[in-house]
């Protein structure tokens, strides 16, 4: 039985490796293709959408794999010291192509000297997903900000779209409610975010996520707290 599990793990790892290589090529080619097209070219929009969809597949793939491995205790949260402004800059860089093509302003706000302790690898997946969705639903702007409040780091993502539905804000725990076949939202992103937040434990406090509307901007606001 043990051998079967090992076989499956190996198969999973190698298949994911292979899929990611394909996705990598796809995304890079689309990016190069898109950057060669004139801004007015109608195909540019299509290329940008394809690029965005590819990155959504990629993020979901990573989330599923990470959840599987967390569940199987093959990986755990690895806390490092992180220069927060640096990683926010990374998040912006990862999305700037799609944001530009959708005429969305994307920027971050954070004190340059802020250092915090968390797992940058997992946070990268969490924030990428949320920012990707925000860009999709916003009208014109997305702001990523980070600051310390009540001895916790808060990373916050604001947009000026329609905001989160009320029932989602009230029961962020019950993610099944956020499943919406029409928009393609499965709740995976938020579920993943909350699992990662809860796994960040420091001095007996664990992290959490909160949804709000109308905070910095007129749309939705996602907050993840890391002790």
CB of 191 to another protein, least distance (A): 18
Handedness of CA 151, 191, 182, 12 (dihedral sign): positive
| Kind of pairing between the strands at 115-118 and 80-83 | antiparallel
Is 8 near another protein (CB under 8 A)?
A: no
Range in contact with another protein (rule: CB under 8 A) among 79-87, 134-142, 170-178, 212-220:
79-87
DSSP annotation of 76 reads -
Is 209 near another protein (CB under 8 A)?
A: no
Is 62 near another protein (CB under 8 A)?
A: yes
Please, which of residues 12-51 interact with another protein by CB under 8 A? 13, 16-17, 20-21, 23-28, 31-32
Is 112 near another protein (CB under 8 A)?
A: yes
Closest CB to another protein among residues 76, 105? 76
Is 146 near another protein (CB under 8 A)?
A: no
Partners of 145 in the β-ladder = 109, 156
Cβ-contact 24, 31 below 8 angstroms: no
| HSE-CB for 128 with a 13 A CA cutoff | 20
Partners of 148 in the β-ladder = 153
Handedness of CA 50, 55, 58, 64 (dihedral sign): negative
Is 58 near another protein (CB under 8 A)?
A: yes
Question: Would you give the end-to-end CA distance of the chain in angstroms?
Answer: 39
Range in contact with another protein (rule: CB under 8 A) among 84-92, 153-161, 162-170, 175-183:
84-92
CB of 16 to another protein, least distance (A): 5
Counting every residue, how long is the chain? 227
CB of 176 to another protein, least distance (A): 26
CB of 134 to another protein, least distance (A): 18
Compute the distance between CA of residue 130 and CA of residue 153 in angstroms, rounded to an integer.
17
| Kind of pairing between the strands at 141-149 and 152-159 | antiparallel
**Residue 86's Cα: distance from chain center in Å?**
16
Is 66 near another protein (CB under 8 A)?
A: yes
Closest CB to another protein among residues 6, 43? 6
Which positions touch another protein (CB under 8 A)? 13, 16-17, 20-21, 23-28, 31-32, 55, 58, 62, 65-66, 69, 73-76, 78-81, 83, 85-86, 89-90, 93-94, 96-97, 112-115, 117, 121-122, 124-125, 202
């Amino acid at each position: 039985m043990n051998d079967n599990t090992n076989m499956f793990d190996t198969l999973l790892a190698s298949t994911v490796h292979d899929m990611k290589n394909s996705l990598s090529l796809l995304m890079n080619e689309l990016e190069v293709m898109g950057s060669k097209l004139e801004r007015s070219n109608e195909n540019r929009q299509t290329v940008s959408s394809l690029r965005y969809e590819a990155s959504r597949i990629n993020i979901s793939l990573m989330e599923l794999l990470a959840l599987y491995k967390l569940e199987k205790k093959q990986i755990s949260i690895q806390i490092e010291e992180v220069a927060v402004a640096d990683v926010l800059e990374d998040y912006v860089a990862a999305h700037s192509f799609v944001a530009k093509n959708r005429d969305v302003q994307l920027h971050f706000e954070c004190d340059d000297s802020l250092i915090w302790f968390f797992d940058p690898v997992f946070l990268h997946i969490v924030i990428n997903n949320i920012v990707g969705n925000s860009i999709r639903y916003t009208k014109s702007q997305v702001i990523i900000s980070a600051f310390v409040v009540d001895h916790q780091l808060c990373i916050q993502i604001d947009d000026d779209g329609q905001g989160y539905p009320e029932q989602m804000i009230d029961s962020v725990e019950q993610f099944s409610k956020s499943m919406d076949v029409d928009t393609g939202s499965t709740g995976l992103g938020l579920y993943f975010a909350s699992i990662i937040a809860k796994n960040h434990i420091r001095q007996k406090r664990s992290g959490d996520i909160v949804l709000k509307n109308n905070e910095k901007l007129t749309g939705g606001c996602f907050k993840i707290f890391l002790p």
